[in-house]
Amino acid sequence: MRFLKKAAVIILVTAFLLTFIKEHKAYAAINVSAKSAIVIDGASGRVLFAKDEHEKRRIASITKIMTAVLAIESGKMEETVTVSANAVRTEGSAIYLKEGQKVKLKDLVYGLMLRSGNDAAAAIAEHVGGSLGGFVYMMNQKAEQIGMENTRFQNPHGLDDHENHYSTAYDMAILTKYAMKLKDYQTISGTKVYKAETMESVWKNKNKLLTGLYQYSTGGKTGYTKLAKRTLVSTASKDGTDLIAVTINDPNDWDDHMNMFEYVFNHYKTYIVAKKGDIPKLKETFYGSRAFIKRDVTYLLNEAEKDEVKINTTLLKPKKAWKKDRSAIPDVVGQMTVTVNDETIVKLPIYYENERNKKPKKRFFETFKAIFSNAAGGSEWSI
């Protein structure tokens, strides 16, 4: 009995160590100078590398990503803002606004993101939130809504004027993933040079990755204060794979971001693990080729993980009446579950083609590789 207990312990410990080694192999291959760092897949949010990613730290001007998001979502981008004396007096980097000046909100957001204007941040906050306090409330409400669990905003610009203004590398990556779903944010963040419509100003983006250092850069936001040190959020895209990187308190941030991106681009690819349209493995079932999914399922995988993709389909048990009257078959007849390394990455409905639901035409993305035929598992009936 004692021998069996020892054997069981050894097996459990061995399994744990193998899992630990597998999960941290990529981490060992990347070295960064930052106190906190992370790189995630922009599509799925999968964490590909992390270092103290949940540690609460000062974040400086990458705060302005949230300010830009709220401005864009306010629907007021074409409105005219009257600049207050309070906004003009904001310390630090500026786009040199003047009291009483009338500027389009859109111009202020470009000045915020490209030149890191603290005066622009204050003017945006007052216009969108009614006051600095009202806007800060909106910032924290939005942070809670999108799952930023270790973040507290106290101002719209990131200056060190409050003790409890902080976030984490992970939370800032989650925020950027959300922001990149907004077309206006993508455009503004990825703009190299902008000529303001209501100001006699032309601004060049401070993000050196975007303006020349890194060919795959698609945008981001820089930051620095004496207490926070250098902070940086950046995005990059190559061959259909979109990545988000964050570093906090990093003296070598440009190189660290490029190294993180290059490691992932060289070791991972985005694959179509399930194509939209009919499901080959279900053609021999009652539902035949009329069972389908409405969208492609894509996921970022390394070479070894391709063999770990599993697809399981659960279908409604057909009723006798359905054989005589196919119109009685419900729109949704089952569920597809996709797992990688036994971890569920997505669950999506399986539809039945009828007058209400038309099966989409399949198309193949040249930048993606398809592995559906190797991944598809069996199906089972359920009631």
User: What positions carry a catalytic annotation?
Assistant: 61, 64, 116
**How, if at all, do strands 102-104 and 80-82 pair?**
antiparallel
Instruction: State how far the Cα of 337 lies from the Cα of 235, in Å rounded to an integer.
Output: 29
* All residues at 6 or more sequence positions from 167 whose CB lies less than 8 Å from its CB, including other chains: 56, 57, 59, 62, 63, 148, 150, 151, 152, 153, 175
Tell me the two tokens of residue 305: 């993980």
Q: Could you write out the DSSP letters of every residue in 147-208?
A: T-TT-B-SSSS--S--TT-BB-HHHHHHHHHHHTTSHHHHHHHT-SEEE-SSSS-EEE-S-H
Q: Which letter does DSSP use for residue 60 in this model? A: G
- Measure the CA dihedral 367/373/378/383, to 10°: 50
How far apart are alpha carbons 173 and 220 in whole angstroms? 11
Contact indicator for 118, 92 with CB cutoff of 8 Å = yes
